Amino acid sequence: MQLSVLVENTTLIDRYYRGEPALSFFIEDGDTKILFDCGYSDIFLQNAEAMGINLLETDTIVLSHGHIDHTGGLPHLTAYHIRASSDKKRITRPVFLTHPATFTQKTAAEGVPVGCPLSPEYLRRFGEVTLTDKPLLITPRLLFLGEIPRYYPDRIQKSSAYIESPEGPKPDPVIEDSCLVYRSDRGLVLICGCTHAGIENTVRHARHICGDERIAAIIGGLHLYQADSARIREVAAWCAQSGVGDIYPCHCTGMPAAIALQQNHILTPIGVGTRLCWDSGEITDGQTLNFRHYE
C-alpha cells in the first residue's frame, strides 16, 4: 500500500506544493485507488495534478467525518468531474464511503457552517454513496473502521463545532469519526482524519475488529492541538505502554503533542508530497479476510 499526502497543514522544502489547515491522502492498494478526505478547498486537486496523480481514476472516496477541513473539497471534486465529462475524459464512477452522520449540519460558535457542503443525494449524481456505521472492507487488507465506540468516554477529543437538536444547538460529538486500517506484515496501520474518538478508543476498536494487537503505525491528525499538558502526557504515555509503533503526526496534532510523542516513538515529519509505503507481506489462505464481524 502506498499513501501520498495531497493536503496537510505543512509543506516541505524543495517540494513545491500548496498546503492548508486540512487533510487529504491518496492511497493505492494494488489496483484500488482511494481518496481519503479532500481538504478544505481545491488545493488537493492542484497538488494531485502536480504529483502526477489522476483523481478521475479514484475507486473509493472515504470521508473520515463531516468537518469542512476534510469535506470542503467535495464541490471542487464534483465540478472537476463535470468538466472532465464535458471534455470526454474517462472517469471512474467512485463509491463515496462514510458514516451517515457525516452529513449532519454543523456550525461554529458564530453560526458559520462547518459541515459537509454537499448532500448524499447530490453525490449520487457522480457515484454510489455507501453510508454505514459498521466496518467495511475496501480491499482484502484495507478496512473502513466504521463508528468507533467510546470505550473511554473521558478520552475523546472534543470538537468546537455544534449540531442542531430539538433543544437547540449542542456540542458536536462527532460520532461519525472513523479511520482506515491496513493490515501490513508488521501489524495494523491506522490512517486517521482527526481522531475525535480519541486515539485510545480508535486503537482499541481497530485491534478488536482486526484481531491483531500489533500497531505498526499511525498516520494522521490526533486532534491534540488544543489539549492541555496533562492530556498530552497521558496520550504519550499510553502510546508507549500499549505498543504503538511509528507515528506520523500531522494536521491537528499540534507541536507540543508531537514533541511529547517523540520521547518514546520514531516520529517522521510529513507534509504535502510525502509518500509512504507499507508492504502486505506473504498472504496465507484465509488471511486476507481475517477481520471480525462488528458487534
Which residue segments constitute the domains of the chain, with CATH numbers given? Answer: 2-279 (3.60.15.10)
The three cell numbers of residue 192 are: 486517521
The three cell numbers of residue 28 are: 493505492
Count CB neighbours of 188 within 10 A: 24
pLDDT in tens, 221-257: 999 998 999 999 999 999 999 999 999 999 999 999 9
Angle of the 199-210 helix axis to the 229-241 helix axis, nearest 10? 20
pLDDT band at 165 (very low <50, low <70, confident <90, very high): confident
Write down the pLDDT at residue 295: 31
The three cell numbers of residue 92 are: 471512474
Average pLDDT of the chain is 92
Residue owning grid cell 458514516:
99
